[in-house]
Amino acid sequence: MGGAPPDHPADTAELAIETQGLTKRFGRQTAVDHIDLAVPRGSVFGFLGPNGSGKTTTIRVMLGLAAATGGEVRVLGREMPRHGRDVLPRVGALVEGPAFYPFLSGAANLRRLDTADPAARSATRDARVAEALERVGLGHAAHKKVRAYSLGMKQRLGIAGALLRPRELLVLDEPTNGLDPQGTREVRTLVRSLAAGGTTVFVSSHLLAEVEQICTHAAVMSVGSLVAHGSLAELRRGRARVRVVTPDVADARAELARLGLVPEPDGDDVTAPLPAGSPAPETIAAGLVRGGVRLRGFGVEEASLEDRFVALTGEGFDVAQ
């Protein structure tokens, strides 16, 4: 499922982010290699890959923080960086971790950030700051100096800074980095609430468990290339298998073969991949019973994202904090 997205929308108005042949080189090193990315509006999109795979470089080019070597980028329907002045006020971003003045409070830091926005009204600044802090669970720490914040609190403060005004697109680079389980749950809930309100959320991460819980779509980077792209269901597709628990191992293998499946040779249970066009699970179970196979257990196992990504990239991913 590499290369162009399998279900690439024809109307670019349906896309929050679109790249075509996007390439970024640093001297002779190619960090991002001709990637075609399509992020549907309203989705929670997971941008996945091991460290050094090109995720952050891609984000920086998308936001106009670095110049592309080749290809095109459109954000919210407008070409970047040409239309950055119009696009960026509609985009919130947290890239490569938050940076704040440690001797100021969380609220004071956000006020300074809000002041830098020429479109922000000073009369409503305090209300915006208070609302942003509440949304990320830092209302109680609004007046605490940032040097006393934990790493997780600083991460949430960075997200609050991205939410000082309504955003059509929110780009988060490793948003749960350093968070404890409670902080991770809070960020997860926040992302879901933003998506429910119509904001497209683009999440760069290497934590598969988080992506499986909050994302609707994902893309996988490996060594600068896009190796998979689509909905989570599409990314898992083709890796399902049937598992049969029975004392009649030889008969079960023979019956599965008769049904057109290819039993795997190893394991205490009898397993076989379920490629596209395989009989329905209930048909397989009925066929086993008709063939005299005694069933102690029967089920269909979907591939995990970890299985799929390791198969695509040849590298492991973290699955927990």
Q: How many folded domains does the chain comprise?
A: 2
pLDDT of residue 312: 63
Share the mean pLDDT of the chain.
Answer: 85
Domain co-membership, 225 together with 252: no
Q: Would the pTM of this model clear 0.85, i.e. be above it?
A: no
Please choose, from the candidates 184, 307, 287, the residue with its C-alpha nearest in 3D space to the C-alpha of residue 241.
307
202 with 172: CB under 8 angstroms?
A: yes
pLDDT, average across residues 82-109:
90
Partner residues linked to 163 by β-bridges: none
Domain co-membership, 62 together with 96: yes
45, 47, 167, 242 from 237: Cα distances, Å = 18, 18, 33, 14
From the number of C-beta atoms within 10 Å of its C-beta (0-12, 13-18, 19+), residue 165 rates as middle
259 with 287: CB under 8 angstroms?
A: yes
Give the helix ranges, DSSP H, for the chain. 55-62, 84-87, 106-115, 125-135, 151-162, 181-196, 208-214, 232-236, 249-258, 281-290, 305-313
Please tell me the distance from the alpha carbon of residue 246 to that of residue 269, in angstroms, as a whole number.
7
The DSSP code sequence of 101-124 is -TTSBHHHHHHHHHHT-TT--GGG
- Do the domain assignments include residue 55? yes
Domain co-membership, 225 together with 253: no
- Do the domain assignments include residue 58? yes
pLDDT, average across residues 169-190:
82
Q: pLDDT tier at 170 (50, 70, 90 boundaries)? A: very high
Condensed to tens digits (0 to 9), the pLDDT of residues 233-287 reads 777 665 678 999 999 999 999 999 999 999 988 777 899 988 777 888 999 999 9
Residue 315 pLDDT more than 60? Answer: no
Domain co-membership, 290 together with 175: no
